[in-house]
Amino acid sequence: MTEPKPPAPKAPSWKPRTRAAQAMGTLPTHDEPVTGAVVPPVHMATTYLRDPDNQYRSGYVYGRPDNATVRQAEAVLAGLEGAEQAALFGSGMAAATAVVLALGAGAHVVAPREMYWAFRHWLLDAAPRLGIKTDCVDMTDPDALRAAIRPGETKLVWVETPSNPLWSITDIAAIAAIAHEAGAMLAVDSTVATPVFAQPLKLGADIVMHSATKYLYGHSDVIAGALACARSDELWSRILAVRSQHGAILGPFEAWLLLRGMRTLDVRVRTQAESAALLAVRLGRHPHVASVLYPGLPAHPGAALAARQMTGFGGMLSIRVTGGEAAAIGAAARVELWKRATSLGGAESLIEHRASIEGANSPCPPDLLRLSVGLEDPEDLYNDLDRALRAGNA
Ligand code: PLP
């Protein structure tokens, strides 16, 4: 069904951030030739004309494997990640599972103990029924990875950095070297870092993954996922085949919304990271906060590595509340401005008692509250949390 893509038109070498700001994608400019619109169109068609001589010279055949608006958004993301290609999916989970499904039965995967809980659960619970086994290790310890690798059998090493919900930092270059030496691929969930603060492919990763639901969209209004590859090799072709066969491609309108979201990605995440850093410092002095987990704080175990491998520390942090689980749940119940909800990366700040959602195998302590810092005034965010923490100790 899938025809080879035609070569992209030659574009001037604008920087990825410039291209994202103008949603340029595959074209030198997205300015629409018929109307001169400065916003790209949405291509809704599910099927495309075949040429009279039976060819598909447009490069488009059918909407399940491919779509022009999806390609446009993929090209912007590929630019931001320094990738050869990107592929959009209907969710982050669809993107992550497509990588593993593309490995096939008999493959062995090494994943971190600390990672997005639902994907860990799928790896440990569902994937074995498909003949794919996973071992989870402390990925911040390269020796732990070395010990878990099964020579000839390990096909994929999965990394999430910074990782949920302790924001541990994994050394991508070191892990890439170990994975490659064993003949395995390295995939990095870079949802929290965003392409603004980290570019895993440049550090040796083969695939980078995003829950685009989060910062790439930035407005908590679309579920989507993305992969981007260093090389469009055989594994990448199998991933695209999984996407097509499982019907996991993102819809055209959602892809258009992603183009819109990525236009403001840079400015949003820098502001969120600035506010997160301010909150981390102030909450670190709070009498009812036992500790703050944020890779931008010098006391964080991953601080030095984060400073080396990232250009910013991101908008996510966690606090451990004095008084334990009940105090943490109580504080989350009393906030007025922070939204008590799961997810992250939106314009509104979210607070979550993470142990309530993570279930078995999670390293999340019961007194931990996860904070996704939005775009509100950080003073308001601090005051709201301060009130909520103090009220429990009045
Ligand atoms: N990876 C990370 C780090 C996440 O936080 C999430 C969702 O919370 C996912 C992957 C899964 O993405 P989605 O919810 O878009 O399927």
Residue 31: what pLDDT? Answer: 60
Residue 12: what pLDDT? Answer: 62
In Å, how far are 141, 161, 322, 330, 354 from 279, measured between CA atoms? 29, 21, 17, 20, 19
Buried b / exposed e across 235-272, counting CB within 10 Å, b at 16+?
A: bbebbbbbbbeeebbbbbebbbbbbbbbbebbebbbbb
- pLDDT class of 28 with cuts at 50, 70, 90: low
What confidence tens digit (pLDDT) does each residue in 289-343 have? 999 999 999 999 999 999 999 999 999 999 999 999 999 999 999 999 999 999 9
What confidence tens digit (pLDDT) does each residue in 157-183 have? 999 999 999 999 999 999 999 999 999
Instruction: State residue 237 phi and psi, 5-degree precision.
Output: -60, -40
The mean pLDDT of the chain is: 94
Q: Averaged over 243-266, what is the pLDDT?
A: 98
Q: What domains can be seen in the chain, in order of their start residue?
A: 16-262 (3.40.640.10), 265-391 (3.90.1150.10)
Residue bearing the bigger pLDDT, 246 or 2 = 246
Judged against a pLDDT cut of 90, whether residue 394 lies above it is answered with no
What distance in angstroms lies between residue 211's CA and the mean position of ligand 1's atoms? 5
Residue 8: what pLDDT? Answer: 52
Residue 35: what pLDDT? Answer: 83
- pLDDT class of 237 with cuts at 50, 70, 90: very high
Instruction: State residue 350 phi and psi, 5-degree precision.
Output: -120, 145
The fraction of the chain above a pLDDT of 90, given in percent, is: 89
Residue 269: what pLDDT? Answer: 98
Judged against a pLDDT cut of 60, whether residue 257 lies above it is answered with yes
Judged against a pLDDT cut of 70, whether residue 356 lies above it is answered with yes
Q: Averaged over 59-85, what is the pLDDT?
A: 96
Ligand 1 atom closest to 212 (CA): 15
> Ligand 1: which of 93, 115, 164, 258 to mutate, most ligand atoms within 8 Å of CB?
93
Q: Averaged over 372-390, what is the pLDDT?
A: 98
Determine if ligand 1 sits within 6 Å of the CB of residue 213: yes
Residue nearest to atom 15 of ligand 1 (CA): 92
Determine if ligand 1 sits within 6 Å of the CB of residue 93: yes
> Ligand 1: which of 97, 211, 222, 357 to mutate, most ligand atoms within 8 Å of CB?
211
Judged against a pLDDT cut of 90, whether residue 132 lies above it is answered with yes
Helix (H, G, I), strand (E, B) or coil at 10: coil
Instruction: State residue 154 phi and psi, 5-degree precision.
Output: -75, 115
Q: Averaged over 194-213, what is the pLDDT?
A: 98
Residue 362: what pLDDT? Answer: 82
Determine if ligand 1 sits within 6 Å of the CB of residue 190: no
Residue 74: what pLDDT? Answer: 97
Residue 2: what pLDDT? Answer: 52
